[in-house]
Chains A and B, each alone.
Chain A
Amino acid sequence: MSASIHDTARAGHGGGEDHAHHPSGIMRWVMTTNHKDIGTMYLCFSFAMFLVGGLMAFIIRTELFQPGLQFVAPDFFNQMTTLHGLIMVFGAIMPAFVGFANWQIPMMIGAPDMAFPRMNNWSFWLLPPAALLLVISLFVPGGGPAAGWTMYVPLATQMGPGMDFSIFAVHILGMSSIMGSINIITTILNLRAPGMTMMKLPMFCWTWLITAYLLLAVMPVLAGAVTMILTDRHFGTSFFNAAGGGDPVLYQHIFWFFGHPEVYIIAIPAFGVISQVIPAFSRKPLFGYTAMVYATASIAILSFIVWAHHMYTAGMPVTGQVYFMYATMLIAVPTGVKVFNWVATMWKGSLTFETPMLFAVGFLFMFTMGGFSGLVLSMAAVDVQVHDTYYVVAHFHYVMVAGALFSAFAGVYFWLPKWTGRMYDETLGKWHFWLSMVFFNMTFFVQHFLGLAGMPRRVPDYALQFADFNMISSIGSMGFGVSQVLLPYIVYKAVRHGAKAPQRPWDGADTLEWTHLPAPAPYHSFETPPVVK
């Protein structure tokens, strides 16, 4: 294996061996230690999983198109909701943002690559085997896991072998996240260019630094939780079995100790992308940068002490409910700071609305909606009524689809010129946004009403009075799914036939990758560290 040394004193790098000894074809991607290659693989993998998870959603919404059982058996329906959740969370959204981290962090802090390039490769190459295990679970006797993405016991302790495959998949996904986080933390703390002080760090890097800490703190806890399920299933332990002195509610506590920070693991890097996009198209620096940093950190810290708002109906003492209710509501304060600052950044800016900005503004509206429905849910007295109904489904799709996913779309359009050196088709991009926006709301807005009217989630059949809204929702979801075909087409078209992109296509974009690097960015971002003033 070749290795090269980068020296401040010497421009260029050790003999260019990296280029010379590059394996070609598939082996280039299998063995690569380059942050851009790895970032690309993360993004492509994420999109592939987005399609797989989307296919499952399609099955779910087809079954729910009308009341009654038409297409799939209830057990298979449950497997679909479970795997849809697991694949979208762990396979689509999380890897998408790790992909952005890989591409952007070294460029934004003035480094040539990540701190541990080989481990970086491993973080990515752990994902395909994990995804494969999840898919295999569908084909073993008894079928895939059907206990919901939260894998609650006693369902999870009673299910067939598919559950074991999923448990091991979760272990491997956890390893990937932990290695990725260590890499990101070390890169940001140790590889910044001279002059790039912490408080000059682009907001996207800050959000990832904080997210990486969340991941390090909670992924091992999830691994512990599923390990306990595994031993309860096969080795006679009684962690979650009351007959042996354990407690099924214990599982919920451990899971949500992971699970609530997890939703911020998804949301915080999305905040980071938005915090780069909005200033660029407002042609103004981010309003209240320092406040944004502290708000993000507060959200992360608070996210550790609110987990039981998912468990109001699990039989908690009222004092517990009141505590978790107020603690949860507290998160709305730093979140409000962030939304305020994004809006204030746009205030009196010279705004233009290219596709990235459209998705960012769409994010702003939709994520705020999701935050509000979250606040509604955080009230224990209300949540008792709507827990496990479609209201919750509407809530988390507002924050995760129109929030995190829209932010990922914004990021792709925003950075594509830098990554490929080509411009995408603006008209098609706008179509992608508007179709996504309209169909998203058609799918999920009506689910608020379904939930408030009492339709439970995770059911393949429902009472007649819910029929109309469900049909609207199903039609919307088909439209949303079909609209997404635009994205790979737009990217393909840009790469193949796009106009050559200038170094800095967006006037207000002022981070290092725009100011210092040509488009497309060179293979090793910064051979020598730039000096940041």
Chain B
Amino acid sequence: MTRSQPWYFLPGPAPWPVIGSTALFLMAGGAAMWFNGVSSGPWTVLAGVLIMVYMMVRWFGQVIDESEGGLYSRRVDLSFRWGMSWFIFSEVMFFAAFFGALFYARVLAVPDLGDLEQKLLWPDFSASWPTAGPIAADPFTPMAAWGIPALNTLLLLSSGVTLTIAHWGLLQDRRGALNLWLLLTILLGATFLGFQMYEYGHAYSELNLKLSSGIYGSTFFMLTGFHGFHVTVGCIMLTTIWIRCLSGHFKPDHHFAFEGVAWYWHFVDVVWLLLFIFVYWI
């Protein structure tokens, strides 16, 4: 690279953080009001979300401009890499809390509820998974693994492959291949989300499986729901870098944003594999 390689990048004063804080404050306060039946709650949340979206567009927009303007040296690039890696690590720990709850329920809580001590209280409860607990509301059918979920596994795994092919395209400066395979990745992700939405509808309308279906419903919907949220965010990130690719951004030796998004996508992929095994399959 002919560009000089400065050590540091020091951005000037920025209005975005405090705008983001305002947005979060509205979202949090609004949600707390909403959940307690205050009618202005949803509108407050909406205002917060809009401000948040505005802030993200502008802040990321500025970062993109700086990046394309050649302000980011190799060292800055490395900083971004450390930052993204440890952010993903923190996301892993967030999912770990919910997986922990699932394992605890299956290995300890549910068997305990079915043991001899509890027989007096709940004589008819048999501690087998899946369960909605000793005071089960309505019976439900658990989600089968080998229908849509298996297909979804296939979709996400292939999207990891297509993304890698797109990355090769970027590395070898074959922009056509890059744009095409990246688009394919986004479409695979979107199809996954479509299937998941269908699956949720199916669960509610035909299986009588709801968020309130005891510990099974809780862990099922919270784990797959947070995962689905992450896929959505991942799709938005992929779309962003796809548009950037179309506008000629990124060079074979300078494309952290692409790689960061790819790491995130693979992380979402791995979480899904664990979900498929522990939530759907066994």
Contacts and interface: CB of A to CB of B under 8 A. Distances in A.
Given A178-B90, A220-B91, A237-B222, A164 B32 contact: yes
A165 B10 contact: no
A169 B218 contact: no
A244 B89 contact: no
Interface string B2-13: 001011111111
A238 B137 CA distance: 12
Contact of B6 (A6, A27, A32, A225): A6
Contact of B113 (A175, A191, A242): A242
Interface residues of A, number: 92
**Those 10 A-B pairs whose CB atoms lie nearest each other, nearest first:** A224-B97, A245-B133, A236-B212, A122-B17, A245-B215, A168-B28, A237-B218, A31-B13, A220-B94, A129-B25
A493 interface: no
A220 to B, nearest CB: 4
Contact of A246 (B29, B83, B215): B215
Contacts of B12: 1-4, 17-18, 21, 33
A190 B78 contact: yes
Contacts of A313: none
B218 A231 contact: yes
B125 to A, nearest CB: 9
A8 B7 CA distance: 6
A5 interface: yes
Contacts of A128: 21
A429 to B, nearest CB: 34
28 contacts: A1-B14, A3-B10, A6-B7, A7-B4, A8-B7, A23-B13, A28-B13, A33-B12, A116-B79, A116-B83, A125-B17, A126-B21, A129-B21, A129-B28, A133-B29, A161-B32, A164-B31, A172-B25, A182-B82, A190-B75, A191-B8, A220-B91, A221-B100, A225-B97, A231-B211, A231-B218, A245-B134, A528-B7
B141 interface: no
B93 A246 contact: no
Interface of A: 1-9, 13, 17-18, 21-23, 27-28, 30-33, 111-113, 115-119, 121-122, 125-126, 128-129, 132-133, 136, 160-161, 164-165, 167-169, 171-172, 175, 178, 181-183, 185-186, 189-191, 216-221, 223-225, 227-228, 230-231, 233-239, 241-247, 249-250, 253-254, 257, 524, 528-529
- The size bracket of the interface on B is 35 or more
Interface of B: 4, 6-18, 20-22, 24-25, 28-29, 31-33, 35-36, 59, 62, 66, 71, 75, 78-79, 82-83, 86-87, 89-91, 93-94, 96-98, 100-101, 104-105, 108-110, 112-113, 131-136, 210-212, 214-219, 221-222
